[in-house]
Structure 1
Amino acid sequence: MPIMAIDPSTTHTLTSPDGAELVVTAHGGHVLGWTPAGGPARLWLSPTAESGPGLAVRGGVPVIFPQFAGRGPLPKHGIARNRAWVVVESGAGFWEARLEDDENTRAIWPHAFELVLRAQASGAVLDLTLTARNTDTQPWNFTAALHTYFTVGDSDTVITGLGGQAAADNAGGPPVALDDAVLALGTRDVAIEGASGPVTLEDPQLGPLVVTANGFPDRVVWNPGPGHGLGDVPPGAERGFVCIEPALLQPTELGPGSVWTGTVRLDAGALSTDA
Protein backbone atom coordinates (compact mmCIF):
# COMPACT_ATOMS: atom_id res chain seq x y z
CA MET A 1 0.00 0.00 0.00
CA PRO A 2 1.26 3.51 -0.73
CA ILE A 3 2.70 5.55 2.15
CA MET A 4 1.87 9.25 2.11
CA ALA A 5 4.63 11.74 3.02
CA ILE A 6 2.64 14.70 4.34
CA ASP A 7 2.78 17.29 7.08
CA PRO A 8 1.41 15.36 10.08
CA SER A 9 -0.59 18.37 11.30
CA THR A 10 -2.41 18.84 7.97
CA THR A 11 -6.14 18.20 8.10
CA HIS A 12 -7.76 16.11 5.37
CA THR A 13 -11.44 15.65 4.56
CA LEU A 14 -12.33 12.30 2.96
CA THR A 15 -15.83 11.88 1.52
CA SER A 16 -17.38 8.51 0.70
CA PRO A 17 -19.50 8.07 -2.47
CA ASP A 18 -22.70 8.31 -0.42
CA GLY A 19 -21.62 11.60 1.21
CA ALA A 20 -20.37 10.38 4.59
CA GLU A 21 -17.44 12.54 5.65
CA LEU A 22 -14.29 11.77 7.59
CA VAL A 23 -11.83 14.43 8.80
CA VAL A 24 -8.36 13.21 9.81
CA THR A 25 -4.83 14.28 10.65
CA ALA A 26 -1.66 12.21 10.87
CA HIS A 27 -0.72 13.93 14.12
CA GLY A 28 -1.80 11.44 16.74
CA GLY A 29 -3.34 9.15 14.11
CA HIS A 30 -6.39 11.26 14.84
CA VAL A 31 -9.94 11.16 13.49
CA LEU A 32 -11.03 14.76 14.01
CA GLY A 33 -14.53 14.66 12.57
CA TRP A 34 -17.26 12.39 11.22
CA THR A 35 -20.48 13.35 9.48
CA PRO A 36 -22.86 10.52 8.54
CA ALA A 37 -24.36 10.69 5.05
CA GLY A 38 -27.28 13.12 5.13
CA GLY A 39 -26.89 13.83 8.85
CA PRO A 40 -25.25 16.26 11.26
CA ALA A 41 -21.63 16.05 12.42
CA ARG A 42 -21.33 13.74 15.43
CA LEU A 43 -17.78 14.27 16.77
CA TRP A 44 -16.84 17.32 18.84
CA LEU A 45 -13.57 19.19 18.28
CA SER A 46 -12.52 22.05 20.52
CA PRO A 47 -12.43 25.41 18.71
CA THR A 48 -9.08 25.99 20.42
CA ALA A 49 -7.62 22.52 19.76
CA GLU A 50 -3.87 22.47 19.08
CA SER A 51 -1.87 20.06 16.92
CA GLY A 52 1.88 19.56 16.73
CA PRO A 53 4.81 17.74 18.33
CA GLY A 54 4.10 16.97 21.97
CA LEU A 55 0.53 18.31 21.80
CA ALA A 56 -2.64 16.26 22.18
CA VAL A 57 -5.62 17.33 20.04
CA ARG A 58 -8.70 18.03 22.18
CA GLY A 59 -11.66 16.32 20.57
CA GLY A 60 -12.41 13.77 17.86
CA VAL A 61 -11.02 10.32 18.63
CA PRO A 62 -7.65 10.40 20.44
CA VAL A 63 -5.81 7.05 20.43
CA ILE A 64 -4.82 5.96 23.95
CA PHE A 65 -1.86 3.54 24.10
CA PRO A 66 -0.11 1.89 25.96
CA GLN A 67 -1.48 3.43 29.17
CA PHE A 68 -4.92 4.77 30.04
CA ALA A 69 -4.93 8.10 31.88
CA GLY A 70 -2.57 8.09 34.86
CA ARG A 71 -2.90 4.37 35.54
CA GLY A 72 0.83 3.74 35.43
CA PRO A 73 4.23 5.42 35.24
CA LEU A 74 3.96 6.82 31.70
CA PRO A 75 2.73 10.26 30.64
CA LYS A 76 -1.06 10.56 30.82
CA HIS A 77 -2.74 8.45 28.11
CA GLY A 78 0.56 7.11 26.84
CA ILE A 79 2.64 7.92 23.78
CA ALA A 80 0.40 7.67 20.70
CA ARG A 81 -1.85 10.74 20.74
CA ASN A 82 0.80 13.48 20.66
CA ARG A 83 3.26 12.43 17.94
CA ALA A 84 3.29 12.08 14.16
CA TRP A 85 1.95 8.91 12.55
CA VAL A 86 2.53 7.82 8.95
CA VAL A 87 -0.46 7.73 6.60
CA VAL A 88 -0.51 4.32 4.92
CA GLU A 89 -3.63 4.69 2.78
CA SER A 90 -6.26 7.34 2.16
CA GLY A 91 -9.34 7.26 -0.04
CA ALA A 92 -13.06 7.97 -0.31
CA GLY A 93 -14.19 7.85 3.30
CA PHE A 94 -11.29 5.54 4.22
CA TRP A 95 -8.04 6.22 6.08
CA GLU A 96 -5.26 4.17 7.61
CA ALA A 97 -2.30 5.42 9.65
CA ARG A 98 0.58 3.73 11.45
CA LEU A 99 2.84 4.51 14.40
CA GLU A 100 6.03 2.57 15.12
CA ASP A 101 8.50 2.83 17.96
CA ASP A 102 11.56 5.02 17.60
CA GLU A 103 14.26 6.34 19.90
CA ASN A 104 11.88 8.93 21.32
CA THR A 105 9.12 6.45 22.21
CA ARG A 106 11.65 3.94 23.57
CA ALA A 107 13.05 6.62 25.88
CA ILE A 108 9.57 6.74 27.49
CA TRP A 109 8.39 3.14 27.03
CA PRO A 110 11.27 0.77 26.18
CA HIS A 111 9.45 -1.57 23.79
CA ALA A 112 9.16 -2.17 20.04
CA PHE A 113 5.62 -1.98 18.63
CA GLU A 114 3.45 -1.17 15.64
CA LEU A 115 0.10 0.57 16.05
CA VAL A 116 -2.38 0.91 13.17
CA LEU A 117 -5.67 2.80 13.09
CA ARG A 118 -8.17 2.24 10.27
CA ALA A 119 -11.26 4.40 9.82
CA GLN A 120 -14.11 3.85 7.36
CA ALA A 121 -17.11 6.17 7.03
CA SER A 122 -20.06 4.92 5.01
CA GLY A 123 -23.73 5.79 5.25
CA ALA A 124 -24.67 6.32 8.89
CA VAL A 125 -21.73 4.27 10.23
CA LEU A 126 -18.13 4.95 11.24
CA ASP A 127 -15.99 1.85 11.76
CA LEU A 128 -12.71 2.18 13.64
CA THR A 129 -10.10 -0.57 14.01
CA LEU A 130 -7.07 -0.24 16.26
CA THR A 131 -4.37 -2.90 15.95
CA ALA A 132 -1.33 -3.30 18.21
CA ARG A 133 1.54 -5.59 17.20
CA ASN A 134 4.44 -6.58 19.42
CA THR A 135 7.54 -6.27 17.23
CA ASP A 136 9.84 -6.76 20.22
CA THR A 137 11.67 -9.90 21.36
CA GLN A 138 10.02 -9.74 24.79
CA PRO A 139 6.36 -9.60 25.88
CA TRP A 140 4.92 -6.31 27.08
CA ASN A 141 1.74 -5.17 28.81
CA PHE A 142 -0.56 -2.42 27.59
CA THR A 143 -3.94 -0.78 28.00
CA ALA A 144 -5.79 1.14 25.29
CA ALA A 145 -8.86 3.22 24.45
CA LEU A 146 -10.47 5.28 21.72
CA HIS A 147 -11.24 8.45 23.68
CA THR A 148 -14.25 9.48 21.59
CA TYR A 149 -15.73 12.99 21.98
CA PHE A 150 -19.38 13.08 20.88
CA THR A 151 -21.20 16.29 20.06
CA VAL A 152 -24.20 16.92 22.32
CA GLY A 153 -26.94 19.02 20.76
CA ASP A 154 -29.51 19.05 23.58
CA SER A 155 -29.19 19.47 27.34
CA ASP A 156 -31.60 16.55 27.85
CA THR A 157 -29.29 14.09 26.06
CA VAL A 158 -28.80 10.86 28.01
CA ILE A 159 -26.60 7.77 27.78
CA THR A 160 -28.36 4.41 28.00
CA GLY A 161 -27.03 0.87 28.14
CA LEU A 162 -25.02 1.19 31.34
CA GLY A 163 -27.87 1.11 33.86
CA GLY A 164 -27.18 -0.73 37.11
CA GLN A 165 -23.53 -1.34 36.36
CA ALA A 166 -20.85 -0.44 38.90
CA ALA A 167 -18.78 2.56 37.86
CA ALA A 168 -15.43 3.35 39.44
CA ASP A 169 -14.73 7.04 40.01
CA ASN A 170 -11.51 7.87 38.14
CA ALA A 171 -10.98 10.78 40.54
CA GLY A 172 -10.77 8.35 43.46
CA GLY A 173 -14.26 8.69 44.90
CA PRO A 174 -16.46 5.73 45.88
CA PRO A 175 -17.95 3.51 43.14
CA VAL A 176 -21.47 4.33 42.04
CA ALA A 177 -24.27 2.40 40.32
CA LEU A 178 -25.31 4.15 37.13
CA ASP A 179 -28.91 4.98 36.33
CA ASP A 180 -30.67 3.53 33.31
CA ALA A 181 -30.39 6.97 31.69
CA VAL A 182 -27.21 8.92 32.55
CA LEU A 183 -27.30 12.64 31.85
CA ALA A 184 -24.64 13.28 29.21
CA LEU A 185 -23.76 16.75 30.46
CA GLY A 186 -23.36 15.93 34.13
CA THR A 187 -19.88 16.31 35.61
CA ARG A 188 -18.56 12.74 35.49
CA ASP A 189 -15.39 10.68 35.11
CA VAL A 190 -16.17 7.01 35.62
CA ALA A 191 -14.84 3.66 34.38
CA ILE A 192 -17.22 0.74 33.89
CA GLU A 193 -15.32 -2.52 33.53
CA GLY A 194 -17.05 -5.42 31.78
CA ALA A 195 -19.55 -3.13 30.05
CA SER A 196 -19.23 -4.84 26.67
CA GLY A 197 -22.77 -4.28 25.38
CA PRO A 198 -24.04 -1.47 23.15
CA VAL A 199 -24.27 2.03 24.60
CA THR A 200 -26.61 4.62 23.09
CA LEU A 201 -26.30 8.39 23.14
CA GLU A 202 -29.93 9.57 23.00
CA ASP A 203 -29.82 13.13 21.71
CA PRO A 204 -33.25 14.74 21.09
CA GLN A 205 -31.74 17.18 18.58
CA LEU A 206 -29.15 15.10 16.71
CA GLY A 207 -30.80 11.69 17.01
CA PRO A 208 -29.61 8.44 18.60
CA LEU A 209 -26.09 7.14 18.16
CA VAL A 210 -25.13 3.57 19.11
CA VAL A 211 -21.60 2.68 20.23
CA THR A 212 -20.58 -0.99 19.97
CA ALA A 213 -17.14 -2.53 20.28
CA ASN A 214 -15.15 -5.76 20.21
CA GLY A 215 -11.79 -6.15 21.96
CA PHE A 216 -12.61 -3.18 24.20
CA PRO A 217 -14.44 -4.80 27.15
CA ASP A 218 -14.81 -1.61 29.20
CA ARG A 219 -16.34 1.86 28.91
CA VAL A 220 -15.36 5.24 30.29
CA VAL A 221 -17.78 8.18 30.48
CA TRP A 222 -16.35 11.65 30.96
CA ASN A 223 -17.53 15.22 31.00
CA PRO A 224 -15.34 17.72 32.88
CA GLY A 225 -18.24 19.94 33.91
CA PRO A 226 -18.09 23.68 34.54
CA GLY A 227 -15.02 25.19 36.13
CA HIS A 228 -12.83 22.46 34.64
CA GLY A 229 -9.76 24.62 34.10
CA LEU A 230 -8.83 22.95 30.80
CA GLY A 231 -6.96 25.46 28.66
CA ASP A 232 -8.15 23.99 25.36
CA VAL A 233 -11.85 23.82 26.33
CA PRO A 234 -13.33 27.34 26.38
CA PRO A 235 -15.67 28.13 29.30
CA GLY A 236 -19.09 26.68 28.55
CA ALA A 237 -17.83 24.44 25.73
CA GLU A 238 -18.07 21.42 28.02
CA ARG A 239 -21.83 21.60 27.45
CA GLY A 240 -21.28 20.67 23.81
CA PHE A 241 -19.78 17.20 24.26
CA VAL A 242 -19.50 13.99 26.21
CA CYS A 243 -16.86 11.27 25.96
CA ILE A 244 -17.98 7.65 25.71
CA GLU A 245 -14.77 5.67 25.45
CA PRO A 246 -14.47 2.01 24.47
CA ALA A 247 -11.47 0.88 26.51
CA LEU A 248 -9.21 -1.95 27.58
CA LEU A 249 -8.49 -0.93 31.16
CA GLN A 250 -6.78 -3.99 32.63
CA PRO A 251 -3.13 -4.47 31.58
CA THR A 252 -2.96 -7.11 28.85
CA GLU A 253 0.15 -9.01 27.88
CA LEU A 254 1.12 -9.25 24.22
CA GLY A 255 3.86 -11.70 23.28
CA PRO A 256 6.52 -11.20 20.59
CA GLY A 257 4.91 -11.22 17.15
CA SER A 258 1.39 -11.26 18.61
CA VAL A 259 -1.39 -8.90 17.54
CA TRP A 260 -4.31 -7.40 19.45
CA THR A 261 -7.26 -5.82 17.64
CA GLY A 262 -10.04 -3.62 18.98
CA THR A 263 -12.96 -2.48 16.84
CA VAL A 264 -15.57 0.22 17.39
CA ARG A 265 -18.70 0.95 15.39
CA LEU A 266 -20.55 4.26 15.68
CA ASP A 267 -24.02 3.95 14.14
CA ALA A 268 -26.16 7.05 13.72
CA GLY A 269 -28.81 5.18 11.75
CA ALA A 270 -31.17 2.41 12.87
CA LEU A 271 -30.41 1.04 16.34
CA SER A 272 -28.01 -1.87 15.93
CA THR A 273 -26.11 -4.34 18.11
CA ASP A 274 -23.58 -5.26 15.42
CA ALA A 275 -19.96 -4.27 16.00
Structure 2
Amino acid sequence: MTATESPAAAPSADEPADTPARVIPDALPLQPEDPPRVGEFWLRGRLGANAAGYLYTAADETGQDAVVAMMTEGSADDAAARDRFVHAVDALPEDVVLAHNGADDDDLALWAAFGPIRADDGTSAAADERLLAERRGEEVLSAVLMDRIPQAGRLRGPDFRHYWENRRRPGLFRIWPLPWPNALRPASWAALWWALAAMALIMAVAVFLAWLLFRNAEPLDPPPVVPTPTNTVTVTITPTTPPPGTESPDPTASPTPGTPNPTGTSSATPTDPNDRF
Protein backbone atom coordinates (compact mmCIF):
# COMPACT_ATOMS: atom_id res chain seq x y z
CA MET A 1 0.00 0.00 0.00
CA THR A 2 2.81 2.32 -0.89
CA ALA A 3 3.20 4.53 -3.88
CA THR A 4 5.37 3.42 -6.76
CA GLU A 5 7.97 5.74 -8.09
CA SER A 6 7.76 6.37 -11.82
CA PRO A 7 11.19 6.89 -13.38
CA ALA A 8 9.68 8.36 -16.49
CA ALA A 9 7.79 10.92 -14.43
CA ALA A 10 10.80 12.05 -12.37
CA PRO A 11 11.46 15.78 -12.80
CA SER A 12 14.58 16.83 -14.65
CA ALA A 13 16.33 20.11 -15.19
CA ASP A 14 14.42 20.73 -18.44
CA GLU A 15 10.98 20.00 -16.95
CA PRO A 16 8.89 22.28 -14.72
CA ALA A 17 8.88 21.67 -10.99
CA ASP A 18 5.21 20.62 -10.91
CA THR A 19 5.75 17.57 -13.14
CA PRO A 20 3.99 14.51 -11.66
CA ALA A 21 6.48 12.48 -9.66
CA ARG A 22 4.20 9.77 -8.26
CA VAL A 23 1.52 7.48 -9.63
CA ILE A 24 -1.42 6.52 -7.44
CA PRO A 25 -1.46 2.71 -7.25
CA ASP A 26 -4.52 0.96 -8.58
CA ALA A 27 -6.82 -0.75 -6.09
CA LEU A 28 -7.73 -4.42 -6.32
CA PRO A 29 -11.29 -5.24 -7.44
CA LEU A 30 -13.96 -5.71 -4.83
CA GLN A 31 -14.80 -9.28 -3.87
CA PRO A 32 -18.37 -10.65 -3.63
CA GLU A 33 -18.26 -10.47 0.17
CA ASP A 34 -17.24 -6.79 0.16
CA PRO A 35 -19.99 -4.24 0.81
CA PRO A 36 -20.79 -2.02 -2.18
CA ARG A 37 -21.48 0.90 0.11
CA VAL A 38 -20.90 1.94 3.72
CA GLY A 39 -22.62 5.06 4.95
CA GLU A 40 -22.58 7.64 2.17
CA PHE A 41 -19.47 6.21 0.48
CA TRP A 42 -19.49 3.89 -2.53
CA LEU A 43 -16.58 1.46 -2.39
CA ARG A 44 -14.49 1.13 -5.55
CA GLY A 45 -11.69 -1.31 -4.70
CA ARG A 46 -9.47 -2.85 -2.06
CA LEU A 47 -6.27 -1.12 -1.01
CA GLY A 48 -5.14 -3.62 1.62
CA ALA A 49 -6.27 -6.01 4.33
CA ASN A 50 -5.11 -7.66 7.53
CA ALA A 51 -6.72 -9.56 10.38
CA ALA A 52 -8.12 -6.34 11.86
CA GLY A 53 -9.88 -4.95 8.79
CA TYR A 54 -9.84 -3.76 5.20
CA LEU A 55 -8.85 -0.56 3.45
CA TYR A 56 -11.01 0.53 0.52
CA THR A 57 -10.88 3.36 -1.94
CA ALA A 58 -14.27 5.06 -2.05
CA ALA A 59 -16.19 8.14 -3.14
CA ASP A 60 -19.35 9.81 -1.91
CA GLU A 61 -22.34 11.00 -3.93
CA THR A 62 -20.57 14.24 -4.85
CA GLY A 63 -17.49 12.44 -6.17
CA GLN A 64 -15.25 13.26 -3.18
CA ASP A 65 -12.59 10.55 -2.90
CA ALA A 66 -11.77 8.95 0.43
CA VAL A 67 -10.14 5.91 2.02
CA VAL A 68 -12.42 3.74 4.16
CA ALA A 69 -11.15 1.46 6.93
CA MET A 70 -13.59 -1.28 7.97
CA MET A 71 -13.23 -4.00 10.61
CA THR A 72 -13.42 -7.72 9.88
CA GLU A 73 -16.15 -9.87 11.38
CA GLY A 74 -13.69 -11.32 13.89
CA SER A 75 -12.39 -8.01 15.21
CA ALA A 76 -15.87 -6.43 15.11
CA ASP A 77 -17.17 -9.13 17.49
CA ASP A 78 -14.48 -8.33 20.10
CA ALA A 79 -15.37 -5.48 22.47
CA ALA A 80 -11.73 -4.61 23.21
CA ALA A 81 -10.90 -4.47 19.49
CA ARG A 82 -13.85 -2.14 18.89
CA ASP A 83 -12.66 0.14 21.68
CA ARG A 84 -9.18 0.30 20.15
CA PHE A 85 -10.68 1.19 16.78
CA VAL A 86 -12.76 4.00 18.30
CA HIS A 87 -9.84 5.43 20.31
CA ALA A 88 -7.55 5.36 17.25
CA VAL A 89 -10.13 7.25 15.17
CA ASP A 90 -10.77 9.78 17.94
CA ALA A 91 -7.02 10.43 18.21
CA LEU A 92 -6.89 11.72 14.61
CA PRO A 93 -7.64 15.35 13.73
CA GLU A 94 -11.29 16.04 13.12
CA ASP A 95 -10.69 17.45 9.63
CA VAL A 96 -9.18 14.19 8.34
CA VAL A 97 -12.02 11.93 9.52
CA LEU A 98 -14.76 12.54 6.95
CA ALA A 99 -17.34 10.18 8.48
CA HIS A 100 -17.70 7.11 10.67
CA ASN A 101 -20.49 5.04 12.15
CA GLY A 102 -21.41 5.03 15.80
CA ALA A 103 -19.73 2.84 18.37
CA ASP A 104 -23.18 1.78 19.61
CA ASP A 105 -23.81 -0.25 16.45
CA ASP A 106 -23.05 -3.52 18.20
CA ASP A 107 -24.39 -5.61 15.33
CA LEU A 108 -22.35 -3.80 12.65
CA ALA A 109 -18.66 -3.53 11.87
CA LEU A 110 -17.06 -0.18 12.66
CA TRP A 111 -15.76 1.87 9.75
CA ALA A 112 -14.24 5.30 9.20
CA ALA A 113 -13.55 7.37 6.08
CA PHE A 114 -10.34 9.41 5.83
CA GLY A 115 -9.50 12.31 3.55
CA PRO A 116 -9.91 14.74 2.00
CA ILE A 117 -8.42 13.52 -1.27
CA ARG A 118 -8.47 15.66 -4.36
CA ALA A 119 -9.22 14.17 -7.75
CA ASP A 120 -6.32 12.44 -9.47
CA ASP A 121 -5.09 15.26 -11.70
CA GLY A 122 -1.66 13.73 -12.28
CA THR A 123 0.13 15.88 -9.73
CA SER A 124 2.08 14.60 -6.78
CA ALA A 125 -0.22 16.48 -4.37
CA ALA A 126 -3.14 14.18 -5.20
CA ALA A 127 -0.97 11.10 -4.70
CA ASP A 128 0.35 12.45 -1.40
CA GLU A 129 -3.17 13.02 -0.07
CA ARG A 130 -4.16 9.52 -1.09
CA LEU A 131 -1.09 7.99 0.55
CA LEU A 132 -1.61 10.04 3.70
CA ALA A 133 -5.20 8.82 3.99
CA GLU A 134 -4.00 5.24 3.51
CA ARG A 135 -1.42 5.66 6.26
CA ARG A 136 -4.11 6.90 8.63
CA GLY A 137 -6.24 3.88 7.84
CA GLU A 138 -3.29 1.59 8.39
CA GLU A 139 -2.61 3.18 11.78
CA VAL A 140 -6.19 2.63 12.89
CA LEU A 141 -6.15 -1.03 11.87
CA SER A 142 -2.72 -1.51 13.43
CA ALA A 143 -4.08 -0.12 16.69
CA VAL A 144 -6.79 -2.79 16.57
CA LEU A 145 -4.25 -5.52 15.81
CA MET A 146 -1.66 -4.11 18.27
CA ASP A 147 1.18 -5.10 15.94
CA ARG A 148 3.14 -1.85 16.34
CA ILE A 149 3.41 -1.88 20.12
CA PRO A 150 7.11 -2.14 21.05
CA GLN A 151 8.14 -5.34 22.76
CA ALA A 152 9.05 -4.91 26.45
CA GLY A 153 11.66 -7.39 27.55
CA ARG A 154 12.85 -10.56 25.87
CA LEU A 155 10.63 -12.80 23.80
CA ARG A 156 9.63 -15.94 25.69
CA GLY A 157 7.05 -18.58 24.91
CA PRO A 158 4.76 -18.81 21.86
CA ASP A 159 3.79 -15.86 19.71
CA PHE A 160 0.69 -13.91 20.67
CA ARG A 161 -2.33 -14.20 18.39
CA HIS A 162 -5.84 -12.85 18.68
CA TYR A 163 -8.46 -15.55 18.87
CA TRP A 164 -10.42 -13.87 16.04
CA GLU A 165 -7.57 -13.58 13.52
CA ASN A 166 -8.88 -16.41 11.35
CA ARG A 167 -12.24 -14.69 10.84
CA ARG A 168 -11.12 -12.31 8.14
CA ARG A 169 -14.31 -11.74 6.18
CA PRO A 170 -15.59 -8.15 6.10
CA GLY A 171 -17.76 -7.37 9.10
CA LEU A 172 -21.51 -7.00 9.03
CA PHE A 173 -22.82 -3.90 7.31
CA ARG A 174 -26.15 -2.27 6.54
CA ILE A 175 -26.90 -0.75 3.16
CA TRP A 176 -29.51 1.99 2.95
CA PRO A 177 -30.50 3.12 0.47
CA LEU A 178 -30.03 0.02 -1.60
CA PRO A 179 -27.04 0.16 -3.97
CA TRP A 180 -29.02 -0.86 -7.04
CA PRO A 181 -29.47 0.84 -9.45
CA ASN A 182 -27.68 4.00 -8.28
CA ALA A 183 -24.25 2.39 -8.55
CA LEU A 184 -24.66 1.40 -12.22
CA ARG A 185 -22.45 3.06 -14.78
CA PRO A 186 -23.70 3.98 -18.29
CA ALA A 187 -22.35 0.72 -19.69
CA SER A 188 -24.15 -1.21 -16.94
CA TRP A 189 -27.38 0.63 -17.69
CA ALA A 190 -27.10 -0.36 -21.35
CA ALA A 191 -26.52 -4.01 -20.43
CA LEU A 192 -29.51 -3.90 -18.07
CA TRP A 193 -31.87 -2.53 -20.71
CA TRP A 194 -30.65 -5.04 -23.30
CA ALA A 195 -31.23 -7.87 -20.81
CA LEU A 196 -34.76 -6.65 -20.07
CA ALA A 197 -35.52 -6.35 -23.78
CA ALA A 198 -34.24 -9.89 -24.41
CA MET A 199 -36.39 -11.25 -21.57
CA ALA A 200 -39.47 -9.49 -22.97
CA LEU A 201 -38.78 -10.88 -26.45
CA ILE A 202 -38.37 -14.43 -25.12
CA MET A 203 -41.64 -14.18 -23.19
CA ALA A 204 -43.47 -12.89 -26.29
CA VAL A 205 -42.13 -15.74 -28.43
CA ALA A 206 -43.14 -18.28 -25.75
CA VAL A 207 -46.69 -16.92 -25.60
CA PHE A 208 -46.95 -16.94 -29.41
CA LEU A 209 -45.77 -20.55 -29.63
CA ALA A 210 -48.24 -21.62 -26.94
CA TRP A 211 -51.04 -19.93 -28.88
CA LEU A 212 -50.04 -21.74 -32.08
CA LEU A 213 -49.99 -25.11 -30.32
CA PHE A 214 -53.32 -24.85 -28.51
CA ARG A 215 -55.47 -22.62 -30.72
CA ASN A 216 -57.13 -25.64 -32.47
CA ALA A 217 -57.27 -27.89 -29.42
CA GLU A 218 -60.68 -29.53 -28.81
CA PRO A 219 -62.39 -28.94 -25.50
CA LEU A 220 -62.13 -31.64 -22.89
CA ASP A 221 -64.93 -34.22 -22.74
CA PRO A 222 -66.07 -34.46 -20.03
CA PRO A 223 -65.05 -31.02 -18.90
CA PRO A 224 -62.88 -30.71 -15.83
CA VAL A 225 -64.70 -30.82 -12.52
CA VAL A 226 -64.48 -27.58 -10.60
CA PRO A 227 -65.06 -27.90 -6.84
CA THR A 228 -67.58 -25.61 -5.22
CA PRO A 229 -66.64 -23.25 -2.37
CA THR A 230 -67.91 -25.92 0.06
CA ASN A 231 -65.43 -28.47 -1.39
CA THR A 232 -68.27 -30.55 -2.85
CA VAL A 233 -68.35 -31.78 -6.41
CA THR A 234 -71.58 -32.04 -8.42
CA VAL A 235 -71.52 -34.65 -11.17
CA THR A 236 -74.41 -34.75 -13.64
CA ILE A 237 -75.06 -38.14 -15.25
CA THR A 238 -77.02 -38.02 -18.48
CA PRO A 239 -78.96 -41.30 -19.08
CA THR A 240 -78.75 -42.83 -22.53
CA THR A 241 -82.12 -43.15 -24.34
CA PRO A 242 -82.81 -45.64 -27.14
CA PRO A 243 -83.49 -44.37 -30.65
CA PRO A 244 -87.07 -43.42 -31.44
CA GLY A 245 -89.30 -46.36 -32.49
CA THR A 246 -87.34 -48.97 -30.57
CA GLU A 247 -87.98 -50.53 -27.20
CA SER A 248 -85.36 -51.55 -24.76
CA PRO A 249 -85.62 -55.20 -23.70
CA ASP A 250 -86.55 -55.85 -20.11
CA PRO A 251 -84.11 -58.38 -18.67
CA THR A 252 -86.62 -59.33 -15.92
CA ALA A 253 -89.47 -60.10 -18.33
CA SER A 254 -90.14 -63.75 -19.16
CA PRO A 255 -90.11 -64.78 -22.82
CA THR A 256 -93.43 -64.96 -24.60
CA PRO A 257 -94.71 -68.50 -25.24
CA GLY A 258 -93.86 -69.61 -28.69
CA THR A 259 -90.94 -67.26 -28.93
CA PRO A 260 -87.55 -68.94 -29.18
CA ASN A 261 -85.15 -68.25 -26.37
CA PRO A 262 -82.09 -66.54 -27.83
CA THR A 263 -79.85 -67.88 -25.12
CA GLY A 264 -80.81 -71.45 -25.84
CA THR A 265 -81.66 -72.25 -22.20
CA SER A 266 -84.89 -73.52 -20.82
CA SER A 267 -87.32 -70.91 -19.67
CA ALA A 268 -89.21 -73.22 -17.39
CA THR A 269 -89.64 -72.10 -13.83
CA PRO A 270 -88.11 -74.48 -11.33
CA THR A 271 -90.68 -76.32 -9.19
CA ASP A 272 -88.34 -77.19 -6.39
CA PRO A 273 -88.78 -74.55 -3.66
CA ASN A 274 -85.22 -75.13 -2.51
CA ASP A 275 -83.85 -74.47 -5.97
CA ARG A 276 -83.69 -70.71 -5.94
CA PHE A 277 -80.79 -70.19 -8.28
Give the TM-score, by structure 1 length: 0.20
Q: Write 1 or 2 for the structure with the bigger share of strand.
A: 1
Higher helix share: 2
Q: Which has the larger radius of gyration?
A: 2
